[in-house]
Amino acid sequence: MRIRVLGPLNADVNGISVVPSAGKPRQVLSLLALYPGQIMPVPTLMEEIWGAAPPVSALTTLQTYILQLRRRLGTAMGPEAPHTAKDVLATRHGGYVLQIPADSTDVHAYERKVREGQAAFEAGDDESAADTLREALALWQGPALVDVRCGPALSIEVLRLEESRLVTVERRIDADLRLGRHCEISAELRDLTARHPHHEGLHSQAMVALYRSGRQAAALDLYRKLRVRLIEELGVEPSPQMQRMHQAMLSVDPALDLATGPRRGSTFDLYAA
């Protein structure tokens, strides 16, 4: 069984889709898929589907959704399968569990690659870090669970995954900057800063990429526009780190150059106190 949640929900057995068309069973499958091998409590599933005020028939209806999912699994597995659908989607005391290996889901493969890439980054192996983190990000096919209506539990999970995705992008860009790929990633950073107009980390990376590409004026203009947005929209000045980076660019600080700058750490922390 293979399940993908980093984009549209996709789950298949022997190449046959087992994703239900109805919204609530899709929520059940999504929540179980995020925690393979772990018991998902009935109250959590009920809250995901109905919120804080489930109907009187909630438990019976949930059991019907589980039965529907098992039927789809059984059809895809076929009569010759060594296990039954009840073995794969098993009932446990207080809940249900999807009995599949963790790496059967794209989210767990993604998180494993992120850990490997982060370890390489911290060890100073920038080439391996950039490659591994790029492989992790390639597993995404769009916003997480983009075609699933998310209740309270799934909304938290989707937010966590999207934040992890952005952090991973930042770390991969840090590795690329340390490898001297500032020209290659300038266009990507231009798009990222447009989509995240208040994100100082991405703006610091874009400023460094522009500066190292011989575009000091463009880097300073990017800072100016960020400062105006932060003041006008949020009523705050850029962080001390951003202000120190701005001053460093004005004074042509050698620490900003690839050849003389520090080889470890993130771009945003370049001028941390």
> 180-233, pLDDT tens digit by residue?
999 999 999 999 999 999 999 999 999 999 999 999 999 999 999 999 999 999
**Residue 263 pLDDT exceeds 70:** no
pTM above 0.75, yes or no: yes
What's the pLDDT tens digit per position in 136-178?
Answer: 999 999 999 999 999 999 999 999 999 999 999 999 999 999 9
Give the tens place of pLDDT for each residue, 98-118: 999 988 999 999 999 999 999
What band does 264 get if pLDDT is binned at 50, 70 and 90? low
Pairing of strands 40-41, 2-4: unpaired
Which residue has better confidence, 19 or 273? 19
pLDDT of residue 259: 60
Mean per-residue pLDDT, 65-69? 95
Query: Which one is predicted more confidently, 181 or 81?
Result: 181
Confidence of residue 83 (pLDDT cuts 50, 70, 90): confident
CA distance 209 to 203: 10
SS3 letters for the chain?
A: CEEECCCCCEEEECCEECCCCCHHHHHHHHHHHHCCCCCEEHHHHHHHHHCCCCCCCHHHHHHHHHHHHHHHHHHHHCCCCCCCHHHHEEEECCEEEECCCHHHEHHHHHHHHHHHHHHHHHCCCHHHHHHHHHHHHHCCCCCCCCCCCCCHHHHHHHHHHHHHHHHHHHHHHHHHHHCCCHHHHHHHHHHHHHHCCCCHHHHHHHHHHHHHCCCHHHHHHHHHHHHHHHHHHHCCCCCHHHHHHHHHHHCCCHHHCCCCCCCCCCCHHHHCC
Residue 273: pLDDT band with limits 50, 70, 90: low
Average pLDDT of every residue of the chain: 92
Q: Categorize the per-residue pLDDT at 82 as very low, low, confident or very high, splitting at 50, 70 and 90.
A: low
Q: Residue 267: is its pLDDT beyond 90?
A: no
In the predicted model, is pLDDT for residue 32 greater than 90? yes
